[in-house]
Structure 1
Amino acid sequence: MQSLDAELEDARRLAIDDLADAIESIGFECTRCGACCTGEAEDDHTATVFPDEVRDLEESDEYDGDYDWRDIARPMPYGLSENEAGDLEGETFEWALQTDDCGDCTFYEEDDSGTGACTAHGDRPLICQTYPFSVALSGTSQPMGEAVDEAGVVRAHECEGLGRDISRDDAEDLARALKERAVRELEEAIAVRDEYEPASPAPGEVVVHDSEGPKRIDGTPLEE
């Protein structure tokens, strides 16, 4: 398996034209079904968001400062445990978009006809911009589940919009976002690896390790 550093170099060398060719060959058009924004059964929606993407949403003119860190992001649940009071505690890595009481993304809304919409569409994170596609380099995991189609290094994940015609311009836009996401995910992973030190959180406390160091659940650095 390649090191993260070698994989990052591979990601930086990805050619937009090749990625766009792969996306075109698979085909995609968003049907606004909302499946990628909603939870399933007892599993809440989980979409990774980078620290700077959280801040972009905090500072978005669209929300006029109405959202703070905890409105936008929650600790990635993996590795956390629930104490007797029902609160999560422990250490985890990275952030997920916040969810509502139904387990759906907090930015997802449906109109009266049931058509879904993202209320943060202009500032949506890279993982949302690129769904249902991911890039699989050597050793890369599949954070969006198993692939249902593939072309070269591009993987397509379950989505009813797959197989539909996509214009070259849209395929290239998607390809650019997909490359940026592949690079950013690896840069984030390397920074987390390099910054990580066990935090030994107190009972009832959650510590989130991201590329900027350990944080509390409100996004503030642990040392403050």
Structure 2
Amino acid sequence: MLGIDDVASRIESIGFHCRGCGACCRRVAEDSNLVLVSPAEVRAIMAATGMVWDEIAEPYPDFIDAENGGEYTLAWCIRRTADACRFLRDGQCSIYAHRPWICRTYPFMLADDDLLVSECPGLGAPLSTRDAHALGADLCRRRAAEEAEETGLCAVYREARVPPGRRAVIDSEGVKVLHG
């Protein structure tokens, strides 16, 4: 497993500086700005903003048929407008200090034992060793948070029951039946 120093070294060699362009927050293709969030991240945003769950998160758009006529999905996403993340205001993130892990570590992601890099205009810019290390540490914390969420989800999923004919999100906190 890649450690912080390994990740930081690779990030520093690639280079990155966020230009604040907001391109990653805008919809340029179907689900191009789909930001997965854990229940803990939604709750942190709720605490910071005073907003309620449904104002922040929407179910992941792909549903799976349950045996009883219900449907479920296994993740939450940041709510979006027709063309952008709902928290993009005047080209800036209105929850920047409380943004989800995906946003905090973009355009980088750890998958298995590899550093994946998404397209971003800020790639290739000089990056200090200190900033690369901070981003590497965030990526490792993100990986740990995602692993914990997956473990919790698996535990809940084994016992989960979607009510007949209803739609629900199954996450690490339980089965959340959707209204409407």
> What is the rounded CA distance, in whole Å, between the counterparts of 2:178 and 2:104 in structure 1?
25
- Distance in 2 separating the partners of 1:79 and 1:120: 28
Greater helix share, structure number: 2
Flag structure 2 segments of 5+ consecutive residues without an equivalent: none
Is 1:172 aligned to 2:133, yes or no? yes
Give the whole-Å Cα distance in 2 for the aligned partners of 1:42 and 1:15. 34
**Which structure 1 residue ranges, 4+ long, deviate > 3 Å from structure 2?**
41-44, 200-203
User: 2:112: which partner in 1?
Assistant: 137
Query: Following the alignment from structure 1 to structure 2, what is the Cα–Cα distance between the partners of residues 41 and 17?
Result: 34
Contact 1:92 1:207 in 2 (8 A): yes
Q: How far apart are residue 103 of structure 1 and its match?
A: 3.7
Alignment check: 8 A CA contact 1:49 1:125 kept:
yes
* 1:108, distance to aligned residue in structure 2 (A): 0.7
| Percent of paired sites with the same residue | 39
| Cα RMSD for the two superposed structures | 2.0
| Contact 2:101–2:142 (8 Å) recurs in 1 | yes
C-alpha deviation, 1:169, in angstroms: 1.6
> Partners in 2 of 1:77 and 1:43 — Cα distance?
9
Please tell me whether residue 127 in structure 1 is matched to residue 102 in structure 2: yes
Alpha-carbon separation, structure 2, partners of 1:118 and 1:214: 30
**Distance in 2 between residues matched to 1:179 and 1:16, nearest whole Å:** 6
| Conserved? CA contact 2:73–2:169, under 8 Å | yes
The equivalent residue for 2:150 is 189
Query: After superposition, what is the alpha-carbon deviation per residue over 1:190-215, rounded to whole angstroms, capped at 9, x for unaligned?
Result: 22112103533443x32111111211
Q: Secondary structure at the match of 1:166?
A: coil
CA distance in 2, matches of 1:21, 1:92: 37
Q: Which residue of 1 aligns with 2:87?
A: 107
User: What is the aligned partner in structure 1 of residue 37 from structure 2?
Assistant: 49
Structure 1: runs of 5+ lacking an equivalent: 1-9, 82-88, 111-115, 139-152, 219-224
Alpha-carbon shift at residue 47 of structure 1 (Å) = 0.5
TM-score, normalization by structure 2: 0.88
Q: Does 1:159 align with 2:103?
A: no
1:69 is matched with which residue: 33, 38, 53? 53
Q: Does the CA contact (< 8 Å) of 1:49 and 1:94 recur in 2?
A: yes
Q: Contact conserved, 1:76 with 1:93, CA < 8 A, in 2? A: yes
Counterparts in 2 of 1:199 and 1:103: CA distance versus 1, 3 Å: farther
Q: Is the 8 A contact 2:162 2:175 kept in 1?
A: no
Q: 2:39 matched to 1:39?
A: no
1:157: how far off?
0.8
Distance in 1 separating the partners of 2:30 and 2:115:
29
CA distance in 2, matches of 1:44, 1:161: 17
- Taking the aligned partners of 1:20 and 1:42, their CA distance within structure 2 comes to 31
Q: What's the CA shift for 1:79?
A: 2.0
